[in-house]
Amino acid sequence: MYDNFEELRENCLNCRKCELCETRHNVVVGVGNTSARVMFIGEGPGENEDLQGEPFVGRGGKLLDKMLNAVDLDRHENIYIANIVKCRPPHNRDPKPEEQELCLDWLRNQVKLIRPKIIVCLGRISAQKLIKPDLIITKEHGMFFRKGNVLMMPMFHPAAILRNPNQKPAAFDDFLKLREKIEEICPEVYGKN
């Protein structure tokens, strides 16, 4: 465990714990405010993220930014975004369980340093890994699950919304629920106290 973010970042950028390091262009550590009360956690970098070294910068990322901005959240201001695995799985295959397990130490360290009040899991892989293995995203999206001092909320993955635009209203509804919860438990996110 590292006790400051710069050290964590530098070591994560040099990680060779699993075979994904052989094919990556960049390690995608995360983006945002390292004191954020709200974290978003996706699955793993895709092609654009691998090339740019930042999470959610492709088409799905543009949609995510739009939905975030609709509830006054911004990836560079009041949230932090990371992924379960920090390196792109070749051909966008699902990250293997052992890759997830090895990489999870980085995320655990990030969560420990950031100390968020709310963690939003983007998509099934993230929600099943971080909330519960049998989570059904189509049924349980938008619900809050308490884990210690943190409230965890599964949401549809932006790429899934792009594939199924009929999920858009439900996805937007989840963002409104998120805003309500932020106003209730950590209004400082919106500069209110």
Contacting positions for ligand URA (CB under 6 A): 42-46, 49, 55-56, 60, 83, 122
In the complex, the smallest distance separating the C-beta of residue 129 from ligand URA, rounded to whole angstroms, is 12
In the complex, the smallest distance separating the C-beta of residue 188 from ligand URA, rounded to whole angstroms, is 26
Nearer to ligand URA, 32 or 45 (CB): 45
Nearer to ligand URA, 30 or 186 (CB): 30
In the complex, the smallest distance separating the C-beta of residue 61 from ligand URA, rounded to whole angstroms, is 6
Q: What is the DSSP letter of 26?
A: S
Q: How far is CA 111 from the centre of its chain?
A: 11
Residue nearest to ligand URA (CB): 42
Nearer to ligand URA, 32 or 44 (CB): 44
DSSP labels, 32-98: E-TT-SEEEEES---HHHHHHTSSS-SHHHHHHHHHHHHTT--TTTT-EEEESSSSPPGGGPPPPHH
